[in-house]
Amino acid sequence: MEAQQNVVPFPGVIPEGMARLNVTFSGSNGDLAEPVAFDLADVDVRRIAAEAIAAGSIPGIARVMGLDLVDFVVDRFGPTEGLPARLMIRPKVPFGA
Protein backbone atom coordinates (compact mmCIF):
# COMPACT_ATOMS: atom_id res chain seq x y z
CA MET A 1 0.00 0.00 0.00
CA GLU A 2 3.05 2.20 0.03
CA ALA A 3 2.35 2.87 -3.64
CA GLN A 4 -0.88 4.63 -2.81
CA GLN A 5 0.96 7.07 -0.60
CA ASN A 6 2.77 8.32 -3.68
CA VAL A 7 -0.23 9.17 -5.81
CA VAL A 8 -2.59 12.12 -6.02
CA PRO A 9 -5.88 12.56 -7.89
CA PHE A 10 -5.65 12.70 -11.68
CA PRO A 11 -6.51 13.85 -14.39
CA GLY A 12 -5.75 17.52 -14.47
CA VAL A 13 -2.54 19.46 -14.32
CA ILE A 14 0.23 17.33 -12.90
CA PRO A 15 1.43 19.05 -9.71
CA GLU A 16 5.02 20.17 -9.31
CA GLY A 17 7.19 17.34 -8.12
CA MET A 18 4.89 14.73 -9.65
CA ALA A 19 5.11 12.91 -12.96
CA ARG A 20 3.08 10.78 -15.32
CA LEU A 21 4.16 7.14 -15.15
CA ASN A 22 4.24 5.37 -18.50
CA VAL A 23 4.72 1.60 -18.66
CA THR A 24 5.89 -0.49 -21.60
CA PHE A 25 5.45 -4.22 -21.14
CA SER A 26 5.30 -7.10 -23.60
CA GLY A 27 4.88 -4.87 -26.63
CA SER A 28 2.12 -2.78 -25.07
CA ASN A 29 2.19 0.67 -23.58
CA GLY A 30 0.03 2.76 -21.29
CA ASP A 31 -0.08 5.41 -18.56
CA LEU A 32 -1.07 4.92 -14.96
CA ALA A 33 -4.24 6.80 -14.11
CA GLU A 34 -2.58 8.72 -11.29
CA PRO A 35 0.69 10.66 -11.31
CA VAL A 36 3.51 9.59 -9.02
CA ALA A 37 6.31 11.43 -7.27
CA PHE A 38 9.04 12.33 -9.76
CA ASP A 39 11.81 11.41 -7.33
CA LEU A 40 10.57 7.92 -6.54
CA ALA A 41 13.39 5.39 -6.32
CA ASP A 42 13.66 3.03 -9.29
CA VAL A 43 12.74 0.08 -7.09
CA ASP A 44 9.50 1.81 -6.11
CA VAL A 45 8.69 2.66 -9.73
CA ARG A 46 9.15 -1.02 -10.64
CA ARG A 47 6.93 -2.11 -7.76
CA ILE A 48 4.17 0.39 -8.57
CA ALA A 49 4.21 -0.61 -12.24
CA ALA A 50 4.14 -4.33 -11.38
CA GLU A 51 1.23 -3.77 -9.02
CA ALA A 52 -0.66 -1.82 -11.66
CA ILE A 53 -0.09 -4.55 -14.26
CA ALA A 54 -1.20 -7.18 -11.75
CA ALA A 55 -4.33 -5.15 -11.07
CA GLY A 56 -5.03 -4.74 -14.78
CA SER A 57 -5.36 -1.01 -14.24
CA ILE A 58 -3.18 0.27 -17.10
CA PRO A 59 -5.25 0.82 -20.25
CA GLY A 60 -3.75 -1.16 -23.11
CA ILE A 61 -1.69 -3.55 -21.00
CA ALA A 62 -3.01 -7.02 -20.27
CA ARG A 63 -3.22 -8.12 -16.63
CA VAL A 64 -0.25 -10.26 -15.55
CA MET A 65 0.40 -11.33 -11.98
CA GLY A 66 3.69 -11.82 -10.19
CA LEU A 67 6.03 -9.56 -12.17
CA ASP A 68 9.06 -7.92 -10.59
CA LEU A 69 10.26 -5.93 -13.66
CA VAL A 70 13.76 -6.19 -12.23
CA ASP A 71 15.41 -5.98 -15.68
CA PHE A 72 13.40 -2.93 -16.68
CA VAL A 73 14.88 0.54 -17.00
CA VAL A 74 13.37 3.69 -15.49
CA ASP A 75 13.81 6.86 -17.57
CA ARG A 76 13.06 10.29 -16.11
CA PHE A 77 12.09 13.28 -18.20
CA GLY A 78 11.42 16.69 -16.71
CA PRO A 79 8.62 18.82 -18.15
CA THR A 80 9.30 20.14 -21.63
CA GLU A 81 7.30 22.06 -24.23
CA GLY A 82 3.89 20.47 -24.30
CA LEU A 83 4.90 17.45 -22.24
CA PRO A 84 4.56 16.98 -18.49
CA ALA A 85 7.22 15.43 -16.28
CA ARG A 86 7.31 11.72 -16.99
CA LEU A 87 8.72 8.53 -15.59
CA MET A 88 8.89 5.80 -18.20
CA ILE A 89 9.57 2.19 -17.27
CA ARG A 90 10.56 0.01 -20.19
CA PRO A 91 12.50 -3.10 -21.29
CA LYS A 92 16.19 -2.81 -22.03
CA VAL A 93 17.03 -2.07 -25.66
CA PRO A 94 20.51 -3.47 -26.33
CA PHE A 95 20.03 -4.42 -29.98
CA GLY A 96 19.97 -2.72 -33.33
CA ALA A 97 22.21 -4.17 -35.97
Task: Say how many CA atoms lie within 13 Å of 71 toward its Cβ.
Answer: 6
Residue 23: beta bridge partners? Answer: 30, 89
Q: Rounded to an integer, what is the distance from CA 75 to the centroid of its chain?
A: 10
Residue 3: beta bridge partners? Answer: none
- Interacting span for other proteins (CB under 8 A) from 3-11, 34-42, 44-52, 83-91: 83-91
d(CA 96, CA 48): 30
Between residues 2 and 71, which has the closer beta carbon with respect to other proteins?
A: 71
Between residues 9 and 69, which has the closer beta carbon with respect to other proteins?
A: 69
* Residue ranges in 33-72 that form contacts with other proteins under rule CB under 8 A: 60, 71
| Closest distance of CB 47 from other proteins, Å | 19
- Interacting span for other proteins (CB under 8 A) from 12-20, 37-45, 50-58, 79-87: 79-87
